[in-house]
Amino acid sequence: MSPSLSSPQLINLTTRYELEEETNLVCRLTLGFGIVLNQSCDLTGRSKTPKPLLVSRILPASNWKINDDDPRGATSKIKELAQPGRHPTTFYLPAYSNEYRDFKLAKSCANLLDVVRFPPNDIPAITTACLKLRLTKDALGAFQERVSHCFGRFAAPDDLYFSKEELQSMQL
The mean pLDDT value for 94-114 works out to: 88
Given a cut of 70, whether residue 32 has pLDDT beyond it is: yes
Confidence band for 154, pLDDT divided at 50, 70 and 90? low
- Work out the average pLDDT over 136-165: 80
Average pLDDT along the chain: 80
CA distance 87 to 91: 8
Q: Is the dihedral of CA 3, 6, 9, 11 positive or negative?
A: positive
pLDDT of residue 110: 94
pLDDT at 3: 47
Q: For residue 147, is pLDDT > 70?
A: yes
**Integer Rg of the chain from CA:** 21
- Name residue 71's beta-bridge partners: none
Residue 34's pLDDT is: 92
CA atoms within 13 A on the CB side of 150: 22
pLDDT(106) > 80: yes
Number of H helices and E strands in the chain, helices first, is 7, 6
Query: For residue 59, what pLDDT is reported?
Result: 92
Going from N- to C-terminal start, the domains of the chain cover: 31-152
